[in-house]
Chains A and B, each alone.
Chain A
Amino acid sequence: MYLFIQRKYLLTQRLHRYQFNPHLTRDETITNVLVKSLTVFPDPDFSLCLSLLPSHTLAPLNSSVHAPAAGDAPLSEAVQKLNDLKNLLEGADYTAFWATLDSDDLYADLVADVSGFDELMRVRIAATVSQAVREVDRGILESWLNLQGKEFEHFVGTVCGWNVDGSNIKIPINKDNEAKGTVVRENVKFDRKCETER
């Protein structure tokens, strides 16, 4: 985990350096960092990376005004496309996420440099699902993970360790999907007791 945080930190540092030296900027590196930060959703890394980018990257694209001379229209386009993905992911609309990812060749180019992107995303999606769900319809989970048939069973059974039960997938109880009511009790400290005895 520590290594992972370190890595995240280094990635943001690279953007940080580009912040000050636009002439050193390489679009590809920026988009790679962004794609990488998608794979740790729902942590806010992606948004924090966006904050480090030049302010025009998120401005609405207007192809007629945007002359090629105006610089990095491709970068803005890529950033906004990735931001769309982020919004779908954070909105937990995983089905739409996979559909959008498939809808444009640009996405394939963008994620190409992050090896195992699909797999990383699936693991992440599975993790968020397991926090909220005890049992889910197979069809829904298939579309969330964008996997079918044998591959689906392998991922769910072996990678996640969940049970396929007919048309339902059962997710073992964990701390988060347990949803147990608790009663917050008063904690009586010893010195309070002394007050009574006085």
Chain B
Amino acid sequence: MSAKFQNGEVGSDDEEAMVVDYHTQVQYDGMEDLDRVSSMGGQDIHAQLQAAATPLEFQATLETKFASYDNYCNLFHFILNSDGPVDLDTPSSSWAWDVIDEFIYQFNSFCGYRQKIALKGDNEEEIQSLRDNPNTWGCYSVLNVLYSLIQRSQISEQLAATKRGEDPKLYAGEYGSRPMYQMLGYFSIVGLLRVHCLLGDFSLALKTLDDIELNKKSMFPRVMAAHFSTYYYVGFSYMMMRRYADAIRMFSHILVYVSRTKNFQKNAQYDSITKKNDQMYALIAICVAFHPTRLDDTIHTALREKYGEQFNRLQRGGPEALPLFEELFRSACPKFINPTPPEFDSPELNIDPVEHHLRIFMDEVKNNMMSPTVKSYLKLYTTMDLKKLAGFLEVDPEKLRCWLLVNKQRNRQVRWSEGGLLAGETVHSSDLDYALEGDLIHVAEAKVGRKLVDWYLRNLARTY
């Protein structure tokens, strides 16, 4: 259906390429949905707007899911492809977020459902109807909707103008000057972050947020769920890109925010984020294991309460910690999506994408698992003989040499300082540094000097 949307060549080559690909793909499925669109006019548009933002029942049947997809298609087609911008009173201010959120949520759970059906392979009827509708809730359609909304509303141009200190209205155009388009476009950017992350393209996910500044002046923090979801996906993407310091910064920011405001947010919206909240604590525990650092006190206390012993085991590393990393990752990662419909004919190819990403992640965990042990020994010395240390650790000296190199490499991390989310420079990120001179390990530590200012201030206040 979405072929009739305005096609999103959102300024860069890759999107253009995707559009081209998309067209080739569309030739396969034909344009069977022309008749669906004509049914739009007579219906109660307000009921539709409301429905688009309302979650499906948990036990919704496959037909309901198909129907819901058609509804979204109709609605977005109406919004995007009528003659000129449509004039609609949207039910509420957070409506735009709810629509985009629910749209992606249904897409996500549909993909999960389809995956499960294909893996089990015992429900012939549903398999057949999934086979017949390979493009229902297809990635291309979903991405196309989001990109089209972004482009129609010229939201990227508007945000870029704001960033330059110009008046965004000059760039808004016919559509973008209307609040509904503006909000839909804006939240589509946030939605894209999520979809790209679900598809496993973490760098592209972060790149989509180039125009949005992560600060309180932006629009997304006004909707709590959007605020929350943005930081979760940004943090997760950073983690998968091994930028643990940045990931911790993201998770800490939002977790502190939630813990400070939870007393004002005792409502349904708050309940819905409790689960994500726990997931983020798990992720922050993982990140701290990779990149030991001082956390905000509130978070540290909460981590101890929630994960206590597990948190210590993670930080200690070693082979015993591996199952724990696996368990936490599984419970805290997003429900990844396979970009293409499953192969119903060969069930063994339909591996849950979560397993795929878990494998990739666990390779990294295994690679790092000895670092905490090595570090804990090195902290005790200023110089150390490699063979002697190998004796303490009961490993082959050459193995230890490898570990030392690995740990050194992992201490160098790209860290954001300004600009887009992907920007950053490589910095040495540990308080422990060392170098090998033959078999001699020189250890150096970054110490924190005495904090005198507060002491002086306190005493001055007392004396005068």
Contact = CB atoms under 8 A, between A and B. Distances in A.
Interface of A: 9-10, 12-13, 16-17, 19-22, 24, 42, 44, 47-48, 50-59, 65-66, 69-71, 83, 86-87, 90-93, 95, 128-129, 131-137, 140, 168, 176-186, 188, 192, 195-196
B353 A91 contact: no
Nearest to A178: B435
B283 to A, nearest CB: 17
Nearest to B343: A71
Contacts of B241: 44, 48
Nearest to B242: A44
A186 B449 contact: yes
5 contacts: A16-B204, A20-B139, A20-B340, A69-B346, A137-B438
B229 to A, nearest CB: 20
A30 to B, nearest CB: 14
Q: Which of B343, B356, B448 has the most CB of A within 10 A?
A: B356
B203 A179 contact: no
A181 B18 contact: no
Interface stretch (B86-94, B95-103, B398-406): B398-406
B456 A196 contact: yes
A21 B435 contact: no
A17 B23 CA distance: 13
Given A70-B348, A181-B446, A186-B451, 8 more contacts: A17-B14, A24-B21, A48-B202, A51-B240, A59-B355, A91-B402, A128-B405, A181-B433
Nearest to B433: A179
Given A181-B444, A186-B452, A91 B457 contact: no
B437 A17 contact: no
Interface string B382-426: 000000000000000010011111101110100000000000000
Contact of B442 (A20, A93, A179): A179
A48 B240 contact: yes
Contact of B14 (A16, A54, A91, A134): A16
B338 interface: yes
Given A48-B203, A48-B240, A52-B201, A91 B406 contact: yes
B364 interface: yes
B412 A183 contact: no
A197 B359 CA distance: 59
A181 B398 CA distance: 26
A55 B435 contact: no
Given A13-B17, A136-B436, A51 B200 contact: yes
A134 B346 contact: no
A56 B346 CA distance: 11
Q: Which of B204, B242, B435, B453 has the most CB of A within 10 A?
A: B435
Q: Which of A9, A53, A178 has the most CB of B within 10 A?
A: A9
A184 B447 contact: yes
A192 B340 CA distance: 59
A176 B350 CA distance: 45
Interface string B197-221: 0011111100000000000000000
Contact of B201 (A10, A16, A90): A16
Contacts of A55: 338, 350-353, 355-356
A52 B360 CA distance: 11
Nearest to A60: B359
A20 B78 CA distance: 26
B140 interface: yes
A87 B367 contact: yes
Contact of A132 (B353, B359, B408, B447): B408
B437 A135 contact: yes
A181 to B, nearest CB: 4
B201 A83 contact: no
Contacts of A129: 405
Nearest to B364: A47
6 nearest A-B pairs in the assembled complex, by CB-CB distance: A55-B356, A92-B405, A51-B200, A181-B444, A179-B435, A132-B408
Nearest to B441: A179
B25 interface: yes
A92 B203 contact: no
B360 A192 contact: no
A33 B367 CA distance: 22
Contact of A131 (B199, B412, B444, B453): B412
Contacts of B268: none
A180 B343 CA distance: 56
Given A91-B406, A179-B433, A52 B200 contact: yes
Given A44-B241, A132-B404, A133-B436, A184 B409 contact: no
Contacts of B202: 48, 51
A131 B14 CA distance: 35
Nearest to A189: B453
Contacts of B364: 47, 90
A71 B140 CA distance: 23
A57 B357 CA distance: 11
B363 interface: yes
A93 B434 contact: no
B349 interface: yes
Given A56-B351, A91-B402, A132-B436, A20 B409 contact: no
A42 to B, nearest CB: 5
A134 B408 CA distance: 13
A190 to B, nearest CB: 12
A134 B406 contact: no
B409 A42 contact: yes
A132 B432 CA distance: 13
Contacts of A131: 408-409, 412
B265 to A, nearest CB: 34
A65 B402 contact: no
Given A56-B350, A131-B409, A180-B444, A185 B449 contact: yes
Contacts of A70: 346, 348-349
A93 B203 CA distance: 28
